[in-house]
Structure 1
């Protein structure tokens, strides 16, 4: 019987051992090709967002400076004044590397950071933090799992020291991914138990396998050229040859007028026709009861802040608005929105994150928004006026003063004046 089992399963077992051995010794080569890196920076697919190799390649290029721009779906709103287009047209000293997907928020960003910690150390970053992430129930588990992978898991486990941040991250991981691989190790972190020497050896082994698997498969998947070729390069001809904000504003106004002609909400025509027009009656007044003031996302944001502090990363935070006409139509409270913004800003500033571009009250400006919740045209221009000087002139990170109370449920559910939170 044993012999028969071996004849059936033996080849499979040997094949698995061979694959594991090949992956274990597979070399990691971060060779650089600027044209490929520029395309990778705007690929904006789920695979590119959650995998390591392509972003690590770009962020380690010593001849060309790529800067991580963390966010969610706003990076997908391309027009002639999109940050990628301006950087390409005017050959800036840096290129944005966009890290974001629809439904992604701080928890996915935190686990993604674990893959590129050396590239964050003493560097500069841009972080869009949208109040609309801060829903009462918090992150959707399916969205989180979609952007999480084994390399993020072992990168996280390998680098944790059992502090409050690690404990919180492990608890959140178990909440949103109850059947996650290596669950026993994650549970130990969540319960503040020490990992055994065997645990640590196994984590290092799996981290090596996962990192090399990522590198191996990245060689078969060419950078997705579609966004660069179709959404960046064609727009260059629309821009003046010499950089000028007044001239760029004229371009933005003309383009926005043309592309928002089908409605009086200031929403891009295709978005309005394909996603809103048929649902308008149903959506009227639909957001009256929404609140972004109480949410576990405040705790998740603290994870990202904690990592930036540990990595001594100098970050500028961008807080976007909601289209004011859409806000009025759906009944979303501006007062509530500003309450959430003040809570976010308090969490940032009291810990030393004082570089903040707050556009939360600009959703009523003409051509500032491309759709209901995403900036475009003159919104991107306002973004550039603040972000470009910060990124173009990198400075050392300030001295952060981290407060672990921002990991508490009391803070996530707090509704009072932020300054009175004790």
Structure 2
């Protein structure tokens, strides 16, 4: 009895036609869809490692992309996702970041966005804790690494040679970036031009473009699925008047005081209980030899600055302080902290970018909610500068 391949062939043909139709329909859907309902939430696999949603946000004046790390993941009613939920002053922050997303991760993201950044406002929140001596750990890099960004970076013919070479050299230090033979080989070629024979280079690039095509289509599918979902509704003000920020600051002060009642450091009670209570004696003075003034992170951050300058973007850099009371207790030298702030400040200024420098708030209780993350008052100050940056009124 001869096998019947007709039904199987028909089924496969119909499936292929379905996939082709879907691949044509999704870009059309994405062209018209709004990112409003996904702007205030993080969805790490899509927003942190994809491009479709970010490009849509950058293309619209209704959104202000905000790049950061773990501070973006702690939601309350002072968080920008709440304050600007209903666009009280005409825009909504589009949040990109999570714990461990440091300079080199954002560098790759910005490189992948290409000319979408040109002339666009964005906000970049800097955490001093990124600047430990060795920079980003391999585990943080691995958890936030996007192959899509990496392929876009290494295949970008418009990127300045200096940025491409320095970026590739840095990426090759991470096992996660090297583990793909195709990507690792192209990074090696970018780091050492001439490493590959021209014929082999073209072969590897062909494979890379195929991989990039698959990654981009995956990003489109995931983004479309996310935009078809319900999203999240958040409570927030409907208008922002002249007295809004001072009044909100008073409320934040009172709420912070109420939430920090079991310690003298201005740290949220629950956080203090979980991380520090019962350990105070062992923690006292332990950070005397730690520094944020000498770090690999400065080179990674310089890549971010160079790229944003080359892309003609309009960023605002937000400098977050440490909790001065806690850092004094653990013995972290005050002089080193000030040196870190000054070094960061001068580096940003050397590229002509705007800074919202909150380093003077080290001893402003409730500016932070713990030893490192923006809290009640901190978010009020930061939200106000987001508003001013978006409207072009920041001094």
| TM-score interval, smaller chain | 0.7 to 0.9
The residue number in structure 2 matching 1:72 is 69
Q: What secondary structure is seen at the aligned counterpart in 2 of 1:251?
A: helix
The residue number in structure 2 matching 1:115 is 112
State whether residues 89 and 240 of structure 2, in contact with CA within 8 Å, keep that contact through their aligned partners in structure 1: no
2:132 pairs with 1:135: yes
Whole-angstrom CA distance in 2 between matches of 1:356 and 1:385: 13
State whether residues 23 and 212 of structure 1, in contact with CA within 8 Å, keep that contact through their aligned partners in structure 2: no
Cα shift at 1:188: 0.5
State whether residues 86 and 92 of structure 2, in contact with CA within 8 Å, keep that contact through their aligned partners in structure 1: no
2:201 pairs with 1:203: no
The residue number in structure 2 matching 1:244 is 244
The residue number in structure 1 matching 2:190 is 189
State whether residues 110 and 304 of structure 1, in contact with CA within 8 Å, keep that contact through their aligned partners in structure 2: yes
Whole-angstrom CA distance in 1 between matches of 2:331 and 2:115: 45
Whole-angstrom CA distance in 1 between matches of 2:56 and 2:240: 32
Cα shift at 1:90: 5.7
The residue number in structure 2 matching 1:419 is none
2:379 pairs with 1:380: yes
Over 3 Å counting, the alpha-carbon distance change for 1:293 and 1:209 in structure 2 is: same
Q: What secondary structure is seen at the aligned counterpart in 2 of 1:261?
A: coil
Cα shift at 1:179: 1.6
Whole-angstrom CA distance in 2 between matches of 1:392 and 1:241: 14
Aligned pairs, how many? Answer: 371
Whole-angstrom CA distance in 2 between matches of 1:181 and 1:156: 16
The residue number in structure 1 matching 2:359 is 360
- Higher mean alpha-carbon deviation, 338-347 vs 76-85, is at 76-85
Whole-angstrom CA distance in 2 between matches of 1:342 and 1:242: 32
The residue number in structure 1 matching 2:348 is 348
Cα shift at 1:78: 2.8
Matches within 5 A, 1:4-403: 27-29=26-28, 30-34=30-34, 37-47=35-45, 48-60=47-59, 62=60, 65-88=62-85, 91-160=88-157, 161=159, 163-177=161-175, 178-182=178-182, 183-193=184-194, 196-221=201-226, 228-229=232-233, 232-233=234-235, 236=237, 244-353=244-353, 355-393=354-392
- Higher mean alpha-carbon deviation, 160-169 vs 64-73, is at 160-169
Q: What secondary structure is seen at the aligned counterpart in 1 of 2:212?
A: helix
Whole-angstrom CA distance in 1 between matches of 2:356 and 2:55: 27
Q: What secondary structure is seen at the aligned counterpart in 1 of 2:124?
A: strand
- Higher mean alpha-carbon deviation, 196-205 vs 178-187, is at 196-205
Whole-angstrom CA distance in 1 between matches of 2:241 and 2:381: 20
Whole-angstrom CA distance in 1 between matches of 2:146 and 2:352: 31
Cα shift at 1:216: 1.8
State whether residues 28 and 212 of structure 1, in contact with CA within 8 Å, keep that contact through their aligned partners in structure 2: no
Cα shift at 1:32: 4.5
Q: TM-score, normalised by structure 1?
A: 0.79
Whole-angstrom CA distance in 1 between matches of 2:229 and 2:261: 32
Over 3 Å counting, the alpha-carbon distance change for 1:133 and 1:337 in structure 2 is: same
State whether residues 40 and 85 of structure 2, in contact with CA within 8 Å, keep that contact through their aligned partners in structure 1: no
Whole-angstrom CA distance in 2 between matches of 1:331 and 1:39: 44
Whole-angstrom CA distance in 2 between matches of 1:89 and 1:216: 27
Whole-angstrom CA distance in 2 between matches of 1:25 and 1:82: 37
Cα shift at 1:23: 11
Q: What secondary structure is seen at the aligned counterpart in 2 of 1:219?
A: helix
Gaps of 5+ in 2: 1-8
Cα shift at 1:285: 1.8
Gaps of 5+ in 1: 1-10, 396-422
Q: CA RMSD in A?
A: 3.1
